Amino acid sequence: MFIIKAIVGLFHWIRRNFRTLLKFKIVFAIILLVILAAGKTYQRWDDDPERGAIAVTNGANGENYSTPVYLDQGWSEADSLWFYNTTQGSGLLPYDFYLALEQVDSTELLRANNNIDKFRYLPQKPTFFNPDGLAVGFVKETYQGNDYMGYTCAACHTGQVNYKGKAIRIDGGPAMADMVGFLTAMEKSLEQTQTDPQKRERFVKAVLALKNNYSSEEQILKDLKKWGDTIELYNTVNHSHLDYGYARLDAFGRIYNRVLEHMINKAQLKLALMQITTPEDKRMLNEEQVDAILEGINETIIGDVQFALIMERLGSTKGKLPGLNQRDQLRVREVIFNEPNAPVSYPFLWDITHSDYVQWNALAANAGVGPLGRNTGEVIGVFGILDWKAQESRFSLSALITGEKAKKHTIDFKSSIDLTNLGRIESHLNSLQSPVWPQEILGKVDRETAKRGELVYNEYCASCHQVIERDNWDRLVVANMSSIDVVGTDPTMATNSVAYTGYAGNFESVYQETDVGSVVVQKRAPVVQVLTAATKGAVATPDADKWVVRRVADWAYMLGKSFFDNEIRPSVKSGNYKPDTTANPYQSLLSYKARSLNGIWATAPYLHNGSVPNLWTLLLPVEERPTEFCVGNREFDPVNVGFNADGCDKTDPKDKRRFIVEPLGNHNTGHEYGTGKDGKEKLTEQERWDLIEYIKTL
C-alpha cells in the first residue's frame, strides 16, 4: 500500500505544480538527454577491436586457431562486448569463489582458459567491462550487496566455427558448450576444496586476498559448504540417463525442475515422500522418518538451501533418518521432479525479436510482454537467486496476476532477476543480423548452382521455411508449426513440455488463462502451469536492489516499454498442427517450428535435438543418416555444411564427443522432405548439392 500511496501522492504533487514544472520543461529535457547520452556513451566504452577474443594453442581436441574474426552482423565491437557482459540476474556461485576455485587434482584454476575451452566455452582476455577476463557469457552479478558469477545470454548463444586455423565468432549463434560437464566439474572442485586440507588452505587465502565479500575463514568455509551443497543438489535433481554432450541442453526440463523446487510446500512434500514405494510395492519411508526429514522446514516455500538439507537427511542414518542409498534417493527425485531427458540445440538469436513465436515448440508467444516473461523464465533456469518466501496475505500485483489474492499466504517473488537489463538485452538483439557465408574464408559460392538450388528450395522448402531479407528492419519471421506426427522428428522435448507434472504449491486451486479458457491449477499440475504462474509473479515484482521510487519507476517503465515498443502483435499460430482444445489446452505445443534459414550454415548440428551433423545428411532418408558421429569439434566442413563429424574414439564409451542416435531424445528421424517419402519426387544427388549451395546464400 505504501508504494501505491507514494505513486498517488507523486501524481497529485505534479498536478499542483504543473505550471511551474512547465517553465522548466526545457531544462528537464536537457537533463534527461544528458543522462541518456551518458548512459549510451558508457555502454560503448568497451570497444576492444578484437571484442576480447583470443587465439588458442594446444586447445581441446588438438585444436589451434588464430584470434577469431567477426562477420558483419549489424553489431559493432562495443555491441558485442555489451551483450557478452551485461548481467541478467544469474548467480551461480559467489564471485570470489569462482575466481579462486581450482580444478580437481590440480592447482590450475577452474576458470583457466584451457579448461574453459575444454567445455567449449569461449575464452576472453580482460576488457573494460570484463576486467577478470571471464569467458564469453560469464559475468559478475551484484545482488543484495554480494557479488556472484552468473551466466548471460551470450554463454549459450555465441558460436564459433574454425576452418584451417582461422576462427569465426558468430554473435547470437548456438554455443557448443557442455554445461553439464562444466557444472559437474564445479561440483567436484567444491567438494575436494572442502575435504583436501592443502587445497582448502589455498582457496581460503586466495578468497581473503581479494578483499571483497569475505573477511574470515569461518565465513568462507560456511559458504563453501552451502554452495557446494547447492550445486550438488542442482546436478542431482537434473541427472539424466541421456548424456547431452556438447552443443545441447534440456533447458526446459531444468527450468521446470527449478520452479518445482521453489514452489512445492511442506504439506505437499510430505505427501510425495509418503507415496514413494520400493520395487516390492512397500512404502519406502514411514511417517516418523518423513517427519524427521522435514523437521524445521518452511511451510510454504522451501528453496535451494532447505532442499539441500532434505537431500542430506535422506542419506543420513542419524536418529530416525532413513539412510537411503543413491538409487532410492533417485526414487525420491522422480516423485517430486522430472528427468530432463530431452536435450536440444541452443537456438540462434538473430531475428528473435522479429519472430511471432519462439522456442522449439513455440511455447512463448512474442507479442506484448511475452519476451519479458520468456526471458524471466530463462533466468529462473540459469541460476537466478530466488529469495521467494511466503507472506501473510495482502494486496500485491504479483498476488493479483498469479491468482493468489484469496490465499491465506501469498508469495513474495523477490529475486536477483534483472528485469531492466532483460528488456535492454531484448532491444539490443533487435539490430542483430544473421551471418553471411564468408567466401574469403570458406570458399566462394557457385552462383549458377545456387540459382538452380533456389528453384528446388521454392518447391520443397519455402512453404515452411520463409525467405526473408536479413537486414530489413520491418521483417516478420513466422514460425510455421508442424505436429510431431507430421514432421516425425524426435518427440521427447515437445511431449515433456506438456506431459510433465509437479506439485503446484501455493498455486493450487488458482485460475489460469489459456487460449481456450480458464483452467484450475490442481495440487499436481502440468509444470507449464506452475512455470507460467511463477514467471508472472517474478515479472510483477520490482528489482529488490533499487530504492523504492526507482524500483517502481524502472519496473513500470520496463513493463510499458516491453508492451508498447513491441511491434509483434498477438496472432494465431501458422502451420499443420493440432490446435488447443478444452480437453487438451496445451495440445498445440506437441509440434515443432520451422523458421527462416538465413544464417543456418553456422548453426550445426541440425534438427531441434542436434541429431544430424550437416545439411547433406539432413537431406538423406533416415536410413542413410549416420547413427553415430562426433560433436565438440569446431572445424567446419564447407562442402557438406556443418562441423567435421569425425575424430571421436568410437571404441571409448567415455568419449563425450560421441553422439549416438539412441535412445529416445537422440533420435534422428523425421524431416524427410525431398527423399520421396513426402509425396513429392525424390531429389537427385545434383539437386541436393544445388539446394545446399543456395542455402549458403541465405
pLDDT at 41 over 70: no
More confident residue, 43 or 496: 496
pLDDT for 420-439, tens place per residue?
999 999 999 999 999 999 99
- So what's the pLDDT on residue 14? 47
375 assigned to some structural domain = yes
- Measured from the Cβ of residue 408, the count of other Cβ atoms closer than 10 Å reads 10
pLDDT at 61 over 60: yes
248 assigned to some structural domain = no
- So what's the pLDDT on residue 16? 59
pLDDT at 9 over 50: no
Residues 373 and 413 in one domain: yes
pLDDT at 22 over 60: no
601 assigned to some structural domain = no
pLDDT for 205-243, tens place per residue?
999 999 999 999 999 999 999 999 999 999 999 999 999
Residues 261 and 132 in one domain: no
Residues 674 and 539 in one domain: no
**Cis amide bond preceding 605, omega within 30:** yes
Residues 268 and 192 in one domain: no
Looking at 550, 571, 596, the residue that finishes a domain is 596
pLDDT at 553 over 70: yes
54 assigned to some structural domain = no
Residues 26 and 78 in one domain: no
Compute the average pLDDT of residues 190-219.
Answer: 97
Q: What are phi and psi of 100, to 5 degrees?
A: -100, -15
- So what's the pLDDT on residue 204? 98
Percent of all residues in the chain with a pLDDT value above 90, rounded to a whole number: 79
492 assigned to some structural domain = yes
Residues 660 and 683 in one domain: yes
- Measured from the Cβ of residue 500, the count of other Cβ atoms closer than 10 Å reads 22
| Cβ neighbours for 523, distance < 8 A, ≥ 6 positions apart | 268, 503, 504, 508
Instruction: For residue 130, name the pLDDT band (cuts at 50, 70, 90).
Output: very high
CA atoms within 13 A on the CB side of 613: 26
Instruction: For residue 4, name the pLDDT band (cuts at 50, 70, 90).
Output: very low
139 assigned to some structural domain = yes
**Rounded Cα gap, residues 19 and 53, in angstroms:** 54
- So what's the pLDDT on residue 329? 86
245 assigned to some structural domain = no
Residues 416 and 501 in one domain: yes
Residues 113 and 34 in one domain: no
Looking at 237, 271, 306, the residue that finishes a domain is 237
Instruction: For residue 20, name the pLDDT band (cuts at 50, 70, 90).
Output: low
Q: Which H, E and C letters describe 581-607, residue by residue?
A: CCCCCCHHHCEEEECCCCCHHHCCCEC
How many separate domains does the chain show?
Answer: 4
pLDDT for 405-419, tens place per residue?
888 889 999 999 999
Residues 16 and 76 in one domain: no
Compute the average pLDDT of residues 135-159.
Answer: 97
Residues 116 and 167 in one domain: yes
Query: What does the block give as the cell for 424?
Result: 535492454
* Contact (Cβ atoms closer than 8 angstroms) between residue 628 and residue 661: yes
Residues 167 and 222 in one domain: yes
Q: What is the domain range of residue 258?
A: 254-434+470-596
pLDDT for 238-276, tens place per residue?
999 999 999 999 999 999 999 999 999 999 999 999 999
Which of 596, 405, 589, 426 lies closest to 494 in space, CA to CA? 589
**Secondary-structure breakdown of the chain: helix, strand, coil percentages, each rounded to the nearest 5:** 40, 15, 45
Instruction: For residue 554, name the pLDDT band (cuts at 50, 70, 90).
Output: confident
Compute the average pLDDT of residues 356-378.
Answer: 92
Which of 331, 340, 347 lies closest to 665 in space, CA to CA? 340
pLDDT for 490-499, tens place per residue?
999 999 999 9
- So what's the pLDDT on residue 7? 41
- So what's the pLDDT on residue 31? 52
Angle, CA 665 vertex, CA 663 and CA 668 arms, to 5°: 85
- So what's the pLDDT on residue 254? 97
Tell me if residue 526 falls in helix, strand or coil: strand
Looking at 237, 266, 298, the residue that finishes a domain is 237
Residue 671 is which amino acid?
H
Residues 540 and 401 in one domain: yes
Query: What global pTM score does this model have?
Result: 0.92
249 assigned to some structural domain = no
